[in-house]
């Protein structure tokens, strides 16, 4: 079993990805600070392995990687995260979708 956090390799362990896709209504400095804080919270408090995000042409996609579903549930139900979710619904996002997937295989250009 091998796990290397951030730029990770996962052999012999089950992993999950949370895929968040959204269409922006508006982006402001509070959004940017909140997004950075949510990434920090996921990694430092809930054990997220990696958290990547990209914004382009009014859309965002964020993918976070996790070892256990329980970590994802705990992060989703965190009070600070729930407040950010509410702000997203009421201020920042026109629409969004969340998908939780199980990673069944991984390889990269070095394999």
Distance CA(41)–CA(68), nearest Å, equals 16
Tell me the pLDDT tens digit for each residue of 33-58. 999 999 999 999 999 999 999 999 99
| Domains contained in the chain, number | 1
Per-residue pLDDT for 72 more than 50? Answer: yes
Q: What is the CA radius of gyration of the chain?
A: 15
Q: Has residue 103 got a pLDDT over 60?
A: yes
Q: Can you read off the two tokens belonging to residue 98? A: 């969340």
Over range 61-72, report the average pLDDT. 96
pLDDT of residue 105: 81
Q: DSSP alpha helices (H): ranges in 57-103?
A: 69-76, 79-87
In a domain, 54, yes or no: yes
Give a yes or no: residue 108 inside a domain. Answer: no
CATH number at residue 97: 3.30.70.100
Q: Quick check: is 2 in a domain?
A: no
pLDDT(9) > 90: no
Q: Tell me the pTM.
A: 0.83
Please give the helix or strand (H or E) that residue 61 lies within, else none. strand 59-66
First to last CA, the chain: 16
pLDDT at 14: 77
Q: What is the token pair recorded at 74? A: 């705990």
């Amino acid at each position: 079993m091998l796990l290397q956090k951030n730029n990770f390799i996962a052999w012999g362990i089950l992993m999950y990805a949370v895929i968040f896709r959204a269409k922006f209504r508006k982006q402001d400095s509070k959004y940017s600070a909140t997004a950075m804080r949510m990434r920090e919270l996921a990694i430092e408090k809930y054990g997220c392995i990696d958290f990547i995000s990209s914004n382009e042409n009014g859309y965002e996609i964020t993918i976070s990687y996790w070892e256990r579903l329980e970590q994802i549930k705990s992060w989703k139900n965190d009070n600070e995260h729930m407040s950010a979710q509410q702000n997203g619904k009421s201020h920042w996002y026109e629409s969004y979708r969340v998908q939780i997937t199980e990673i069944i295989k991984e390889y990269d250009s070095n394999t």
